[in-house]
Structure 1
């Protein structure tokens, strides 16, 4: 008797957006947008203001539903799953993160376990959770700032603390919403180096980064989606999408795109 070889079941994508449309006030913010992110891929969402980047990232983070089309996050379809439970498996880094109290770095990172903006009254972390916070804070280069208050941190230190916060729950999907906002050049480079290192140590984790600027993309970016007027302008591997021709078309401005040392840059084309 011949035994047929076993066939491994296909691995579902981490994120699968299919023909998504989002309408608000009679206007389409997104129209027929599709995006598939597989395990270990690191995508960039790029486009001018009003292109729909934030709206798309909102659905990726299970914070909103499409008007039409489907969005599957970590194998679960929006509209058929409890969103608060799903969000516990998604790490979200937003430099505009707001808190009521002037919390320490330790307290901020611990809120990644509770999914709250500030420490939850009477909630006590376990020894294992405390140890994980210490390890993650060290991994983003902030060990000496563990007890420092938010008000005395630089913008770059805050960004790295928020990355540690997003990683405490060991997310399968990490979302970075313009993480280099407000950073000077040195702080931006430190932050992007941190992201590159984390992508090496967390190989199964996928990520999506929203930015206006190619210079803010880590060198580990593997794929890119260009948005223009709420529609997909180009999508695919980063080196195929982040070209002078395609980026110029998405921004409706003549640009020259270069890549050196693994990093991208863009400048206006001289007429």
Structure 2
């Protein structure tokens, strides 16, 4: 079992300027699992994701990424194997979709000077562009893409180096209904092509979760209230407590829906 663990946090605290951001959080992600980190704004979800992605160190506790303990390894060496999708990608120049995806090889925002991909890397990029439903947009400029197209291009970019883990930080941010559903459709298709890939998705909207989610963690005020198989964690009572609002969850066709719990008639 231990050799299948790709990410783990053990009693992790994160403190900034004397303020606790995470408090005693523990989590274990294994190969092929698909996790959702849920909670209200300020719960610590993105901070936990940055620890799991080897982007920052914990104040206390231990974080293990692909068998390496943070603080005992050069974190930059791990970034190739941990794909991180940030919908606020700071690209400003009019690169094509293909060029953006290929920057996944170099881990840079812009292609480095005098660098050019080899033919295999170009073929792999084209296959990923098709897999993410952008085959007809490979030569389109970044500045002309919809928010949903940008998000899928960034997933292709993160997958190009063949990472063992894919981290998605609120990937549906700013998407309309069509863009969200297209994103979910393509996330749902990933396990067929990458059966051992582990994913961790941050959101505060259960409606954004693809049917392939296997595990979930509920965070509130820096603490992990529950973590485990999704069907055990994502309950009406658990989510109501996490968001401090009475809700009823419905699960149908692999998707979750949430509505405010109706008060009994007086």
Q: TM-score range by the shorter chain?
A: over 0.9
1:88 equivalent to 2:75? Answer no
TM-score normalised to structure 1 length:
0.95
CA RMSD of aligned residues (A): 0.9
State the Cα distance separating 1:24 from its structure 2 match.
0.6
Superposition pairs for residues 68-217 of structure 1, below 5 Å?
Answer: 68-217=60-209
Cα distance in 2 for residues equivalent to 1:255 and 1:171: 37
1:12/1:75 contact within 8 Å kept? no
Corresponding position: 1:25 with 2:29: no
What TM-score, normalized by structure 2, do the two folds share?
Answer: 0.97
Match of 2:58 among 61, 66, 71: 66
1:63 to partner: Cα distance: 0.4
More deviation, 241-250/87-96? 87-96
Match of 2:44 in 1: 52
Pairwise mapping of residues 5-20 of structure 1 onto structure 2 (< 5 A)? 10-20=2-12
The alpha-carbon deviation at position 244 of structure 1 amounts to 0.4
CA shift at 1:130, angstroms?
A: 0.6
In structure 1, the partner of 2:222 is 230
Return the alpha-carbon distance in structure 1 between the equivalents of residues 199 and 166 of structure 2: 5
Whole-angstrom distance in 2 between the partners of 1:12 and 1:42: 13
3-state DSSP class of the match of 1:110? helix
Q: Secondary structure at the match of 1:270?
A: coil
Task: Decide whether the 8 Å contact of 2:6 with 2:31 is kept in 1.
Answer: yes
Q: Which segments of structure 1 move beyond 3 Å, counting only runs of 4 or more?
A: none
Structure 1, unpaired ranges of 5+ = 1-8
- 1:92-129: per-residue Cα shift (whole Å, max 9, x none)? 11111111312110110001000001111110101110
**2:7/2:66 contact within 8 Å kept:** yes
Aligned mates of 1:125, 1:269 — CA distance in 2 = 54
Which of 206, 213, 221 does residue 221 from structure 1 map onto? Answer: 213
Q: What SS is found at the alignment partner of 1:107?
A: helix
Cα contact 2:81–2:162 (8 A) shared by 1: yes
| Runs of 5+ unmatched residues, structure 2 | none
Q: In structure 1, how many angstroms separate the alpha carbons of the residues matched to 2:217 and 2:181? A: 23
Post-superposition offset of 1:12: 4.4
* Contact kept in structure 2, 1:52 and 1:229, CA below 8 Å: yes
Aligned residues: 263
User: C-alpha separation between the residues in 2 aligned to 1:102 and 1:62?
Assistant: 29
Q: Distance in 1 between matches of 2:25 and 2:257?
A: 26
Helix, strand or coil at the partner of 2:245: coil
Structure 2 CA distance for partners of 1:26 and 1:10, relative to 1, 3 Å: closer
Cα deviations by residue, 1:157-192 (Å, 9 ceiling, x for unpaired): 111101100100001000011111111111111111
